[in-house]
Chains A and B, each alone.
Chain A
Amino acid sequence: MKKMNKYPISKKVIISITMLCLLLSACTAGGSTTPKTSEVNGTPTTKEANQTNENVKIRILTLQDWGESKFKPMLDEYKKIKPNVSFQFETYPFQEMLKVIQVKMAAGDTNYDIISVDGPLNQNYASRGFLKPMDQYLSEADKKALVPSSLQAMTYNGKIYSAPMATASSVLYYNKDLFDKAGMPYPSSEKEARMTWEQVSELSQKLMEKLNPKRDNGIWAMALEQINATYNIMPLVNSLGGTGVGKDGITVDGVINSEPWVKAMTFYGNLFNKWNVSPKGMDPDQIRNLFVSGKLAMLVGAVEFAKNQIEMNNPKMNYGFAPHPYFKDGKAVTPTGSWHYGINTASKHPDEAMDFIHWAVWGAGSDISLAKVYPNLPARYDQIQKIIDDKSGEYVGFRAHYKLGVDEAMNTAVPRPLAIGYSDWDSVMMTVFEDIRNGAVPKQSLDRAVEELKPAMEKYRK
């Protein structure tokens, strides 16, 4: 007791400091939101340098589905020519990754070398200084090797800021068993017999009458794969001559509330509300599952859907494909645009990152990517030609409908709005699509969208 009185404070000070240390260590050790990271190609390097003959670790920020296991075939091959390079992945779900890019790139984060860039966001990222221009690394031949829609998407103010992993197209998949059950003939796969949206709606109503007249057994006639997203909805508008933004890339008034938009959105709303042939309240993943599980008769889906979803989850599914529909009074338009590689402006290894990207897009890595990582349509003319020439339809494991996809990509593809304010535009329009899907009046919703978007887009005019 005497001793305690002699040193009353020092003991308590020690206790307090210990408590403080424990608290602070608990704080720093936290982080339930830590992303999934993984090392590829052996032991992580400790020394990093710009010289290519020294060990370099390239850090990639990408989608959840494209982590180590997906990219490994490419990286193993790249390692053979660049043994000094290793890779580290940080992956997130789609929406989360977009937020991470917005926050971390804006803060000048140096922890990434390569980031995945959704095509329409190239302009936004470039204008905000997130991406390093690639022009110094690319030849004219490199640029000419790519299809125009990809080249357009990767360019901002005359400079190249990203490189396409692939491009994309969509077809109309249909479930043959459900068509047989309904006693309906299959849609033609010939592009000369391309169905109009009017015919699709009529066919969908007949299918519903046969397969689910009371709307109570979970079977649906038709859906867009990205049911409430710009990617699949814009072709409806484009088919009628509408665009996402004015020619200046900013104007929305008189554009997104124009006649083609109202007509296209009325059709879209009718699918869910008037004809009741498409399901409400489902997200794109649920729509994919609906088709794969045999409860959806027709799906407007990406060409890689067959390989990524059907063959993975229901390989015995009896399905066919037909060209993407169009409006009777309009023109044939198909969606396009895909993921790109971009280099973080603050990357410590831009040369090495670009070397990998060049190999993955213009070099031997591209075929491996198309076969094993991202089985979408190639963005390079020479690879497209291989698909056209491939008699067996098995080039890099592609299926017959890729030929149709290639044809669409070359002739009917229209990219999503290429606008510096695309993230604002997409955010507002997704709300509009969802509202119309849930029964809102199209014209009113579009006018409201103009009201919301106008100030948001105008800020990019400065």
Chain B
Amino acid sequence: MPKKYNSVAYLLIFPVISLILIFKIYPIISSVVESFFSVGAGQVKTFVGLRNFIDLFTEPVFLKSLGVTIVFNLLLTPIQVVISILLALLVNIPLKGIRIFRSIYYMPVGISISVTAVIWGMMLSPNGGLINTLLSLIGLPPQPFLISPNQAMFSILLMCTWQGVGYWMIFVLGGLQGIPREIYEAAQIDGSSGVRTFFRITLPSLKPVLTFVIVTNTVVNLLLFAPMYMLTDGGPQRSTNVLMLEAYKTLYRSVDPGRAYAIITVLIMMVAIIATSQMTLLREKD
């Protein structure tokens, strides 16, 4: 780029950079700084060093939330990625009217998370919800779903998967359509089976797209908050009390900003470490 255009380039990206600095970087720095303070009675702010973090890692509530967040992500991200790959493979088949199916699978993405939560809340209701009605029609006993400590997380997981896979499917589909047809033809001539072609050609070719999907999906799921807030409030017995929700409750209900910011800082570090590790691991295999 000619030197005289550099200033224009910087000027053009200035608005975006400013917004990122104001709405992303500043809150992160502010959260980290605030996590070293405690606010007592009379709104007096005191520097407490690492006290908030030490307290966190000795508290059963935080440790339970940390565990719930990790388990939730360990389940949700792989499920969403695998299903989105399968769906993308399905809607990549050149059939007449396949675009209709693509739209149908993508449709849940267009519904806001709040509306989705309300709809699923009604469907999963133990008092005459749609799913229990269907279960009773086939002779199965009604299930507690969101009010059971054993089923609540899976119910939310189901809802998030239903809403999220269409979005990730579109990226994978884009990746699939970017793979040159000649490679598949060559594999076919060489007598490669469908499964072998998938693992030897399709999956490696999708690596850049999958890296994006896996990393972004993990970050999104780590920061997931609305379904738990709206459907279970972290219960029953804190089985869906993810870190984001715990931070929210700490700040707005218990009014303990120091603890809330410490939780957020832990979450930011988790996101940074996990995302960096994922990108490094996926890059190394290139």
Q: In whole angstroms, how far apart are the Cα atoms of A439 and B151 in the complex?
A: 13
Quick one: given A23-B15, A280-B144, are A128 and B41 in contact (CB under 8 Å)? Answer: yes
Q: In whole angstroms, how far apart are the Cα atoms of A133 and B146 in the complex?
A: 44
Pick from B8, B147, B235: contact of A16, CB below 8 A.
B8
**Is the beta-carbon distance between A218 and B11 smaller than 8 angstroms?**
no
**Is the beta-carbon distance between A438 and B19 smaller than 8 angstroms?**
no
**Is the beta-carbon distance between B40 and A459 smaller than 8 angstroms?**
yes
Binds A, one of B54-62, B166-174, B277-285: B54-62
Q: In whole angstroms, how far apart are the Cα atoms of A213 and B148 in the complex?
A: 23
Per-residue CB contact flags for chain A residues 116-152 toward chain B (1 = under 8 Å, else 0) read 0000000010011100000000000000000000000
**Is the beta-carbon distance between A127 and B42 smaller than 8 angstroms?**
yes
**Is the beta-carbon distance between A452 and B144 smaller than 8 angstroms?**
no
**Is the beta-carbon distance between A127 and B4 smaller than 8 angstroms?**
no
Q: In whole angstroms, how far apart are the Cα atoms of A278 and B125 in the complex?
A: 15
Residues from chain B with a CB closer than 8 A to the CB of A27 are 19
Q: In whole angstroms, how far apart are the Cα atoms of A24 and B22 in the complex?
A: 11
Q: Is A13 an interface residue (CB 8 A)?
A: yes
**Is the beta-carbon distance between A427 and B249 smaller than 8 angstroms?**
yes
Residues from chain B with a CB closer than 8 A to the CB of A445 are 237
Binds B, one of A77-85, A98-106, A239-247: A98-106
Q: Is A20 an interface residue (CB 8 A)?
A: yes
Binds A, one of B67-75, B98-106, B252-260: B252-260
**Is the beta-carbon distance between A99 and B41 smaller than 8 angstroms?**
no
Q: In whole angstroms, how far apart are the Cα atoms of A218 and B19 in the complex?
A: 52
Q: Is A279 an interface residue (CB 8 A)?
A: yes
Which A residue sits closest to B58, measured CB to CB? A455
Pick from A9, A20, A102, A440: contact of B15, CB below 8 A.
A20
**Is the beta-carbon distance between B7 and A9 smaller than 8 angstroms?**
yes
Q: With both chains docked as a complex, state the minimum distance between the C-beta of B61 and any C-beta of chain A, in angstroms.
A: 5
Q: In whole angstroms, how far apart are the Cα atoms of A173 and B7 in the complex?
A: 75
Q: Is B234 an interface residue (CB 8 A)?
A: yes
Residues from chain B with a CB closer than 8 A to the CB of A280 are 126-127, 144, 147
**Is the beta-carbon distance between B253 and A129 smaller than 8 angstroms?**
no
Pick from A23, A128, A423: contact of B19, CB below 8 A.
A23
Quick one: given A16-B8, A27-B19, A427-B254, are A129 and B43 in contact (CB under 8 Å)? Answer: yes
**Is the beta-carbon distance between A13 and B8 smaller than 8 angstroms?**
yes
Q: With both chains docked as a complex, state the minimum distance between the C-beta of B94 and any C-beta of chain A, in angstroms.
A: 41
Which A residue sits closest to B16, measured CB to CB? A23
Residues from chain A with a CB closer than 8 A to the CB of B254 are 423-424, 427, 456
Quick one: given A127-B41, A128-B43, A460-B41, are A9 and B8 in contact (CB under 8 Å)? Answer: yes
Quick one: given A12-B8, A129-B42, A460-B41, are A20 and B234 in contact (CB under 8 Å)? Answer: no
In A430-462, the 8 Å CB interface with B consists of 431, 434-435, 438-440, 445, 448, 451-452, 455-456, 459-460, 462
Residues from chain B with a CB closer than 8 A to the CB of A128 are 41-43, 255
**Is the beta-carbon distance between B233 and A281 smaller than 8 angstroms?**
no
Residues from chain A with a CB closer than 8 A to the CB of B7 are 9
Q: In whole angstroms, how far apart are the Cα atoms of A424 and B236 in the complex?
A: 18
Q: With both chains docked as a complex, state the minimum distance between the C-beta of B40 and any C-beta of chain A, in angstroms.
A: 6
Residues from chain A with a CB closer than 8 A to the CB of B238 are 431
Q: Is A420 an interface residue (CB 8 A)?
A: yes
Size class of A's contact patch? 35 or more
Q: Is B149 an interface residue (CB 8 A)?
A: yes
**Is the beta-carbon distance between B252 and A102 smaller than 8 angstroms?**
yes
Residues from chain B with a CB closer than 8 A to the CB of A440 are 149, 236-237
Residues from chain B with a CB closer than 8 A to the CB of A448 are 60
**Is the beta-carbon distance between A13 and B235 smaller than 8 angstroms?**
no
Q: Is B26 an interface residue (CB 8 A)?
A: no
Q: Is A8 an interface residue (CB 8 A)?
A: yes
Residues from chain A with a CB closer than 8 A to the CB of B43 are 106, 128-129
Q: Is A184 an interface residue (CB 8 A)?
A: no
**Is the beta-carbon distance between B59 and A455 smaller than 8 angstroms?**
yes
**Is the beta-carbon distance between B256 and A456 smaller than 8 angstroms?**
yes
Quick one: given A9-B4, A279-B127, A438-B235, are A16 and B12 in contact (CB under 8 Å)? Answer: yes
Q: In whole angstroms, how far apart are the Cα atoms of A282 and B128 in the complex?
A: 12
Q: In whole angstroms, how far apart are the Cα atoms of A452 and B256 in the complex?
A: 14
Q: Is A364 an interface residue (CB 8 A)?
A: no
A–B pairs, 18, beta carbons within 8 Å: A16-B8, A102-B255, A106-B39, A106-B43, A218-B127, A280-B126, A280-B144, A420-B41, A424-B256, A427-B249, A427-B254, A438-B144, A438-B148, A439-B148, A440-B236, A452-B61, A455-B55, A459-B256
Which 4 residue pairs are nearest across A and B when measured between Cβ atoms?
A: A427-B253, A99-B252, A16-B11, A20-B15
Known: A20-B15, A426-B253, A440-B237. 18 other contacts (CB 8 A): A9-B4, A16-B8, A16-B11, A102-B255, A106-B39, A124-B255, A127-B41, A127-B42, A128-B43, A282-B127, A423-B253, A424-B253, A434-B236, A435-B236, A438-B149, A452-B59, A459-B38, A459-B256
Q: Which residues of A contact B (CB under 8 A)?
A: 8-9, 12-13, 16, 19-20, 23-24, 27, 98-99, 102-103, 106, 124, 127-129, 218, 279-282, 420, 423-424, 426-427, 431, 434-435, 438-440, 445, 448, 451-452, 455-456, 459-460, 462
